[in-house]
A and B are shown apart, each in its own frame.
Chain A
Amino acid sequence: MITGKLSHLEQHYDVVVVGGGPAGMAAAVGARDAGAEKILIVDREKEAGGILWQCIHPGFGLHHFKEELTGPEYAQRYLASVMDKGVDVVTGAFVFDADRDRRIQLTSGQHGIRVIDSKALVLGMGARERTRGAIRIPGTRPAGVLTAGLAQKFVNMMGFLPGKRVVILGSGDIGLIMARRLTLEGVEVVGVFEIMPHANGLNRNIVQCLHDFDIPLHLSTTVAHIHGRDRVEKVTVAPVDAALRPIMEKSWDIDCDTLLLSIGLLPENELSRQLGISLDPVTSGPVVSSRMETSMPGVFACGNVVHIHDLVDFVSQESYLAGTNAGEFVTGKRRPADNVRLVPGENVRYCVPHTISTDREHTVYMRVRQPLEKCLIRLGDVYQKKLLYVFPAEMVNLTIRPRFLEQFHGDALRVDVVPRDT
């Protein structure tokens, strides 16, 4: 583990990156490569690397490093290049304020309260897990109801178990990974319950984490009640109707001491709100241009703070771009501004970035609403591409080359993902 305890914190930086996860690290590298000189990453954890440290399973880096790494290995590699490039990293430090002059305030046990100026600011605060309150599961409030990520921290970082007999609500990737991890630890995982008719995690995780371990996945089923005064004693699960309401006549009880929640991630945009930048109500993240710049000039955003990714490789890619543009903002050689707005159309929940320009190549990330096989992704009438399948749990990414945009003279392009025969 690299522990670069920063002994001296400057007061002025070219680029300050808030958050030292994969997004922040890639952004810092991007900013350096684009010519920014003094760069600082601030992270509230003891180490930079974000959630990667607790993801000890493989499956990282297949796209980016073209080999399969574990989370910590991926973090280690990135951190090494961050250090190589002479980026300052301050950890155990929490940014509690940021303003439109790109001045941040941080608090740290080591450095006290500090005010730091930056020429460009990159937001890479990541995401947090949704908790019980967000979905208001009825019942008592005992110990033993926790998010899958917290359980992952208990097991993988601290070496303790969250319980002996576990029910998992939600088929998000962290929950699937934890189903396998806990089984390997000798914990009994009774099943994974998903309210939607389709799983919320990557298909490869359904296969490798559930099927391979005979852990049942109950679709269109939810936890309708939590029982137990001090500690979880059992949960009532029930299939749901079309309005996603539990059908109690068909419910059954499961004895367990733990309920893990894997019910989604929420971008951490408290600082973005303080700054007053525009947020997209669908992603809950900042609206960004193709430079990954927010509505506030000189403030960039990347990674899960913008939209929830399912693979770290794309976080790194998107964030490197954000960092590059932050660096260019500092050195003054900016790419031309965007001139086309992307409008999510049929079966498209959102597109990131929200705007593009017709003069260069872009990668557009999007999520669909409904699974489809043999479909077509359509960009107005300038471009279309066949896809074998789309799935809400898997982000779709699309590279658009400038030659398709040259002929386009409007200011908005609608993006649809439709069955092939329409």
Chain B
Amino acid sequence: MLYDVVIVGGGVIGSAIARELMRYRLRAVLVEKECEVGFGTSKSNSGIIHAGHHSAPGTLKGDLEWTGNQMWDPLNADLDFGFKRIGELTVAMNEAQVHEIEALKRQGETRGVPGLEIWDRERTLKAEPNLTPDLLASLSAPTAGVINPYEACFSLVENACINGLELSVENPVLGITPEPDGTLTVKTRHGLYHTRFVINAAGVFADSVAAMVGLNDFRIYVRKGEEYLLDKRLEGFVQRLIFPCPDPVTRSKGILVIPTFDGTLMVGPTSHVVDDKDDLTTTSAGSDEVFDKVTQVVPGISSRDCIAEFAGLRAVADGEDFIIGPTAVKGFINVAGIQSPGLTAAPAIAAMVIDILRDEGLALAPNDHFIPTVPRRVRFGALPIEEKIRLADENPRYAHLICRCEHVSEQEILDAIHDGARTLDGVKFRTRAGMGRCQGGFCTWRIMELLAGELAIPISDVTKRGGGSWIIMQREEGEQQV
């Protein structure tokens, strides 16, 4: 049976496109090689919805950044993954940098970004007393926000599935053949999909996927970013996103302080080109760079407070801009080179791709039964006490705490499993269980038990994130006590 659309890659881009597509009566499948959607670059980034003034004018990414920024409020109203406009300060340390932030302000204003203001030293320090007293001024951008990027992916896809999307995970696309009749056959680990359109949203591998249909006109190289998470004790140490003044030569945004959606402070990311597209290593040079630079702006931050670290890979195309559009191969559409601010731009990219599909001849009949929302998920730890008491009375599983650092209840873990989590990381990124300061010391076993029970698998089959990421093994004698 013929599919209308096969989306290759379930990052935030593929996920956002999938969700928009399901507003129409279509047969579509999202094919993802990892065990969960979002487990490529989309879970390993800063989680910032950029304010709209950073990217240079005249670029696709600059336009889509600002359009995308404005689309996150309605998206969050529907899908409730959590989005807060906490605002941003770009800090100038000397006169030259004051000119830089003034230029940034004009760049944003030209684009229509509201609320940009230069704050003097006194006003900046009053708002953020933990910044260095050595600063001269800052640019305040109230439109900047934060989300949990993985939760955004999960709820986009969850909603798309409610509306008829097919999802196939742990299923890499291995080859794509254009057929004589203008359709495409997509070969995957788990079988063939015959389709009219293929959306190439394969992130850092988008060049390899394009090469499958013989397109070799762009190359993706990767720029790695390392990020370091700090103990929750520092929650509130800064209230807004803190940016240093961008490097006048590279335009790199530099090392930031990020009060993440859940309040944990994060510092990073570095930005260095690496050769290997699987290189998710963190390095001691990266860690030194992050903490050295960050303490110049926020002196109270120390590497002693680090609880975890990760790295993500930016998919950079030659020319540095996004590559979005139809190709020489009929039905094959590229959404490639989606580096920063790809997360911010994702909803705008999705809207753009719908327009492209329409232009390319896909009939888009509205789906009258489209459901815009997902069932609201309870975040027990964040509720006011009266509400907690009421819910716990109704369902004692809410009062049974599984993750004690992030205060995640048994019921929330069960909800996550019912929503599709099949691995420890799947649970972790849906619920935050295991993300806190003890890094799973307390909850790992408890979550393994719940996963094994709900999925009816032996506990030694529970993995960290699919594939060969096993956690425990049976004793030689094969005796099992659980």
- Interface residues, chain A, with chain B CB atoms under 8 Å away: 44, 92, 94, 96, 105, 107-113, 128-129, 131-134, 136, 138-144, 146-147, 149-150, 153-154, 158-164, 185-186, 224-225, 229-231, 245-246, 273
Q: A134-B306, A230-B468 known; A107 and B441 CB under 8 Å?
A: no
Once the chains are docked, how many angstroms separate the CA of A111 from the CA of B396? 8
Q: Which of A132, A230, A245 contacts B469 (CB 8 A)?
A: A230
Name B428-482 residues within 8 Å CB distance of A. Answer: 437-442, 444-445, 459-460, 463-476, 479-482
- In this complex, the interface size class of chain B, counting residues with CB under 8 Å from chain A, is 35 or more
Of the A-B pairs whose beta carbons lie under 8 Å apart in the complex, a sample of 19, sorted by A's number, is A107-B388, A109-B396, A109-B400, A112-B396, A113-B385, A113-B392, A132-B308, A134-B307, A136-B282, A139-B282, A141-B280, A143-B465, A149-B441, A150-B444, A153-B445, A160-B460, A160-B475, A164-B473, A230-B464
What is the minimal beta-carbon distance from A170 to any residue of chain B, in angstroms? Answer: 15
B399 adjacent to A112 (CB under 8 Å): yes
Q: Which residues of A contact B482 (CB under 8 A)?
A: 158-159
Q: Which of A128, A159, A273 contacts B481 (CB 8 A)?
A: A159
Once the chains are docked, how many angstroms separate the CA of A138 from the CA of B228? 12
Interface residues as binary, B253-286 with A (CB distance below 8 Å gives 1, 0 otherwise): 0000000000000000000000000101111101
What is the minimal beta-carbon distance from B459 to any residue of chain A, in angstroms? Answer: 8
Q: Which residues of A contact B233 (CB under 8 A)?
A: 273
A109 adjacent to B472 (CB under 8 Å): no
The answer to the question of B407 belonging to the interface, with a C-beta cut-off of 8 Å to chain A, is yes
6 other contacts beyond A44-B401, A159-B481, with CB at 8 A cut-off?
A110-B396, A132-B439, A133-B439, A143-B464, A146-B444, A163-B473
Residue of A nearest to B44 (CB): A141
Q: A107-B388, A149-B441, A160-B460 known; A44 and B281 CB under 8 Å?
A: no
A161 adjacent to B388 (CB under 8 Å): no
Q: Which residues of B contact A146 (CB under 8 A)?
A: 444
What is the minimal beta-carbon distance from B43 to any residue of chain A, in angstroms? Answer: 12
Once the chains are docked, how many angstroms separate the CA of A246 from the CA of B285? 12
A143 adjacent to B400 (CB under 8 Å): no
Q: A113-B385, A128-B441, A160-B473 known; A143 and B392 CB under 8 Å?
A: no
A109 adjacent to B410 (CB under 8 Å): yes
A131 adjacent to B441 (CB under 8 Å): yes
A159 adjacent to B393 (CB under 8 Å): no
Once the chains are docked, how many angstroms separate the CA of A108 from the CA of B401? 7
The answer to the question of B309 belonging to the interface, with a C-beta cut-off of 8 Å to chain A, is yes
Once the chains are docked, how many angstroms separate the CA of A131 from the CA of B459? 23
Q: Which of A138, A161, A230 contacts B475 (CB 8 A)?
A: A161
B468 adjacent to A231 (CB under 8 Å): yes
Q: A112-B393, A133-B307, A185-B475 known; A143 and B388 CB under 8 Å?
A: no
Q: A112-B389, A231-B470 known; A133 and B309 CB under 8 Å?
A: yes
- Interface residues, chain B, with chain A CB atoms under 8 Å away: 228-229, 233, 278, 280-284, 286-287, 303, 306-310, 385, 388-389, 392-393, 396-397, 399-401, 404, 407, 409-410, 437-442, 444-445, 459-460, 463-476, 479-482
Once the chains are docked, how many angstroms separate the CA of A161 from the CA of B475? 6
Residue of B nearest to A153 (CB): B445
Q: A94-B404, A113-B388, A159-B481 known; A128 and B438 CB under 8 Å?
A: yes
A136 adjacent to B228 (CB under 8 Å): yes
A231 adjacent to B287 (CB under 8 Å): no
Residue of A nearest to B304 (CB): A134
Q: A136-B284, A160-B460 known; A109 and B399 CB under 8 Å?
A: yes
Once the chains are docked, how many angstroms separate the CA of A160 from the CA of B470? 12
Q: Which residues of B contact A140 (CB under 8 A)?
A: 280-281
A136 adjacent to B445 (CB under 8 Å): no
Q: Which residues of A contact B399 (CB under 8 A)?
A: 107-109, 111-113
Residue of B nearest to A245 (CB): B284
Residue of B nearest to A186 (CB): B476
Residue of A nearest to B389 (CB): A113
A92 adjacent to B308 (CB under 8 Å): no
Q: Which residues of A contact B404 (CB under 8 A)?
A: 44, 94
A159 adjacent to B439 (CB under 8 Å): no
A154 adjacent to B445 (CB under 8 Å): yes
Once the chains are docked, how many angstroms separate the CA of A82 from the CA of B344? 57
What is the minimal beta-carbon distance from A49 to any residue of chain B, in angstroms? Answer: 16
Residue of A nearest to B405 (CB): A270
What is the minimal beta-carbon distance from B386 to any residue of chain A, in angstroms? Answer: 10
Q: Which residues of B contact A224 (CB under 8 A)?
A: 284
Once the chains are docked, how many angstroms separate the CA of A138 from the CA of B310? 10
B307 adjacent to A136 (CB under 8 Å): no
Q: Which residues of B contact A158 (CB under 8 A)?
A: 445, 459, 472, 481-482
Once the chains are docked, how many angstroms separate the CA of A131 from the CA of B453? 28
6 nearest A-B pairs in the assembled complex, by CB-CB distance: A109-B400, A159-B481, A143-B464, A133-B308, A230-B468, A160-B472
A94 adjacent to B284 (CB under 8 Å): no
What is the minimal beta-carbon distance from A242 to any residue of chain B, in angstroms? Answer: 16
Q: Which residues of B contact A133 (CB under 8 A)?
A: 228-229, 306-309, 439
Q: Which residues of A contact B286 (CB under 8 A)?
A: 138
Q: Which residues of A contact B396 (CB under 8 A)?
A: 109-110, 112
A142 adjacent to B441 (CB under 8 Å): no
Once the chains are docked, how many angstroms separate the CA of A140 from the CA of B473? 21
Q: A136-B287, A138-B282 known; A129 and B475 CB under 8 Å?
A: no
What is the minimal beta-carbon distance from A123 to any residue of chain B, in angstroms? Answer: 15
Residue of B nearest to A129 (CB): B441
B281 adjacent to A159 (CB under 8 Å): no
Once the chains are docked, how many angstroms separate the CA of A150 from the CA of B448? 13
Residue of A nearest to B471 (CB): A143
Residue of A nearest to B308 (CB): A133
Which residue, B303, B388, B404, B440, has most C-beta atoms of chain A within 10 A? B404
Once the chains are docked, how many angstroms separate the CA of A185 from the CA of B389? 46
What is the minimal beta-carbon distance from B452 to any residue of chain A, in angstroms? Answer: 11
B469 adjacent to A143 (CB under 8 Å): yes
Once the chains are docked, how many angstroms separate the CA of A149 from the CA of B397? 27
Once the chains are docked, how many angstroms separate the CA of A134 from the CA of B308? 7
Once the chains are docked, how many angstroms separate the CA of A129 from the CA of B438? 7
Once the chains are docked, how many angstroms separate the CA of A4 from the CA of B310? 43
Once the chains are docked, how many angstroms separate the CA of A186 from the CA of B475? 9
Which residue, B233, B471, B474, has most C-beta atoms of chain A within 10 A? B471
Once the chains are docked, how many angstroms separate the CA of A246 from the CA of B283? 12
Once the chains are docked, how many angstroms separate the CA of A109 from the CA of B460? 26
What is the minimal beta-carbon distance from B93 to any residue of chain A, in angstroms? Answer: 27
Q: A112-B389, A131-B439, A230-B469 known; A161 and B309 CB under 8 Å?
A: no
Residue of B nearest to A110 (CB): B396
What is the minimal beta-carbon distance from B426 to any residue of chain A, in angstroms? Answer: 13
Once the chains are docked, how many angstroms separate the CA of A92 from the CA of B465? 28
Residue of B nearest to A108 (CB): B399
Once the chains are docked, how many angstroms separate the CA of A132 from the CA of B310? 11
Once the chains are docked, how many angstroms separate the CA of A10 from the CA of B306? 40
Q: Which residues of B contact A107 (CB under 8 A)?
A: 388, 392, 399-401, 409
What is the minimal beta-carbon distance from A292 to any residue of chain B, in angstroms? Answer: 24
A94 adjacent to B282 (CB under 8 Å): no
Residue of B nearest to A160 (CB): B472
Once the chains are docked, how many angstroms separate the CA of A143 from the CA of B462? 11
Once the chains are docked, how many angstroms separate the CA of A157 from the CA of B409? 23
Q: Which residues of B contact A154 (CB under 8 A)?
A: 445, 472
What is the minimal beta-carbon distance from A84 to any residue of chain B, in angstroms? Answer: 29
Once the chains are docked, how many angstroms separate the CA of A272 from the CA of B396? 27
Residue of B nearest to A266 (CB): B437
Once the chains are docked, how many angstroms separate the CA of A111 from the CA of B309? 37
Once the chains are docked, how many angstroms separate the CA of A94 from the CA of B307? 22
B474 adjacent to A160 (CB under 8 Å): yes
Q: A107-B392, A158-B481 known; A138 and B281 CB under 8 Å?
A: yes
What is the minimal beta-carbon distance from A266 to any residue of chain B, in angstroms? Answer: 8
Once the chains are docked, how many angstroms separate the CA of A273 from the CA of B236? 14
What is the minimal beta-carbon distance from A270 to any residue of chain B, in angstroms? Answer: 8
Q: Which residues of A contact B476 (CB under 8 A)?
A: 186
Which residue, A94, A136, A142, A144, has most C-beta atoms of chain B within 10 A? A136
What is the minimal beta-carbon distance from A129 to any residue of chain B, in angstroms? Answer: 6
Q: Which residues of B contact A153 (CB under 8 A)?
A: 445
Once the chains are docked, how many angstroms separate the CA of A320 from the CA of B396? 34
